[in-house]
Amino acid sequence: MSSILLSASRLVLAIVLLGWVAGCGDRGSPVEVDYGGPVADWPFWGGDRGARHHSPLTQITKQNVDRLEVAWTHHSGDYFDGSGYSKRTAFQNTPLVVNDTLYYCTPFMRVFALDPETGEERWSFDPEFRSRHGEGPYPLMCRGVSYWEDATAKAGAACARRIFYGTADSELIALDADTGVPCEGFGEQGRVALREGIGEAPPWEYHPTSPPQVIGDRVVLGALVADNVRVDAPAGVVRAFDARTGERVWAWDPVPPGWPREPDPETGRRFTAGTPNVWSIITADAERGLVYVPTGNPSPDLFGGLRKGLDYYGSSTVALDAATGEVVWHRQHVHKDVWDYDTPSPPTLFQIDGVGAGVPGLLQTTKMGHVFLLDRETGRPLYPIEERPTPQDGAPGETLSPTQPFPTHPKPLHPLHLEPEDAFGFTFLDRGNCRKQMERYRWDGIFTPPTVEGSLQTPHTGGGPNWGGVALDESRGLMIVNQSHAAVINELIPREEADRLDPASFVYPDEFYPMHGAPYAIHRRLLASQFGAPCNPPPWGSLTAVDLRSGEVVWTRALGTLRESAPFPIWLFFEDYGAPAFGGGISTDSGLYFIGASLDKYFRAFDVETGEELWRDRLPFMANSVPMTYRLSKGGRQFVVVASGGNPISDMGDALVAYALPD
């Protein structure tokens, strides 16, 4: 009886506390708003070319952030609603605010221009999206657009200011930023086809998902290439186009130096099949004329025995000359990657006194929770990187690297251990189930290779950190990053057996990939108990702040709750368990860090120095995105905007939500 009363009292206390958090602060008292602080727009996907995700704004502070309220909401209508337009959408967009206008794109490839103060539409553009496929393993998405001003154009000329973006129809489109009308002198009626030289591939297997990087008069972009479909997957080429005409200026085919290039006239392929692709965000240093590209794996991702050297630029950060496309330097973060540990996040540029002797630096996070600090000009490590022996004895025919690089400053942020005694469970039943699975499958650390018998992999192929990147507060020397924490089981299936299986019988997160042309297919699934909970110990989502000068963790905490993942009232008792996060966060000079990303649909603000949660608000859908912020005039308010549209494992929607202090 006492245990029942204790549980009941905990439930009542949890409900009371939640009510207190939701209603804390005297909502009727006036808010003191400082109108004398800085103003700033958000002209790039990551706030600046180097994707620091940081703003100098200070109007929203630690003292008044709990008074934020919804200022406006915009709905595009572009999401899966059961009508058959698409089976999956993910609203992963980060808008721009530049040219006194807010610009964003939708999963159905439309672009909207809004009044940034009111959310009122100024124009919209519909490309008449053709690839309404709903096929393949990925949802439809458009992470962002890019802005460019032509310094040579006459004042008031059409397309003197342009919006560029790539679509799931594999087109690069240029729009007049003032009217939304396609730029006639760019390609064919404002469009450039991106399939030239790629070879045959269905629409879902190859297309851009991230915004191009515009540097000088070059528009540089890569593309998503579907994982683990076939050995001869579409080329991972990165190309630059003239911002005025759309003419291709250069193409970087990521093959080893001296690699023979033989075009295939039968398929129309001019670039090398199966090369590492660049699906994530490209950054740039305009002063040095460099673009930085984060690369994925050669194809297929989870078997490397047939690559014959195409790993050379795989899972790396590569610096290219923006004018020519020539490689200036590259740094590999995973050798012979057979884990889908591709470089997922934007290479972040910084310069901080006391970090690497104050030289211009580049910070690269990886799915493993490794943080590499490099010299931006040369790629040399700012701190030692150790090559450590890693497991061997992969599947027959596999080739593995004897060592892998481990950064030492900061040390890896993701847990490196996973033993049966670490098995998690809400009860002794599911804990025992997890322990048995962990005893059954091979585990020799984070670089345990996939095997026919089955092996464990952690982090999950989604990270650790992922495409949302980091927030980098240079004045404080702080980096803040969100991570997911889960493990998967990898089982290689011999070709003859795999060809008898029906891929449709596997439903996410139970995944099957054919890897056509390889001796194996792959069966990958979450290491979870019979109740569906991850077997690795929580938190399953986290935030970590690192002092880049010392390399030490300043604070870490769980991110998210089980509100959308567990039934009521169970989730009330597990506030510190966190939840997998999809997206990223931003920081401000006032010492705030904003992030959605978690499955529980909350948008939150934290103290950057302590990690204390200062505010949260429930969004209509999960914020599967990275927010942004702006304040455009001395008499104006600071807005924080986040895309709330979820993804296929949550509700899907279309809400772009702007917050501000009361007017």
Active site residues: 340
356 contacts: CB under 8 Å, gap ≥ 6: 373, 375, 382, 383
- Reported as half-sphere exposure (CB side, CA atoms, 13 A), residue 607 has a value of 11
Q: Name the DSSP letter for residue 84.
A: S
E strand spans, 423-570? 455-457, 470-473, 478-484, 488-494, 511-513, 520-526, 541-547, 553-558
β-pairing verdict for 316-321 and 327-332: antiparallel
Give Cβ neighbours of residue 266 (< 8 Å, ≥ 6 apart): none
Structure tokens at 469: 């990147």
Residue 73: both structure tokens together: 């909401």
CA 366 to chain centre: 11
- The b/e string for 364-374 (b: 16+ C-beta within 10 A; e otherwise) is bbbbbbbbbbb
Count Cβ atoms below 10 Å from residue 52 Cβ, excluding itself: 25
225 touches 296 (CB < 8 A): yes
Cis bond upstream, residue 257 (ω within 30):
no
8 A C-beta contact, residue 250 and residue 155: no
CA R_g for the chain:
24
For the chain, the distance separating the N- and C-terminal CA atoms, rounded to the nearest angstrom, is 53
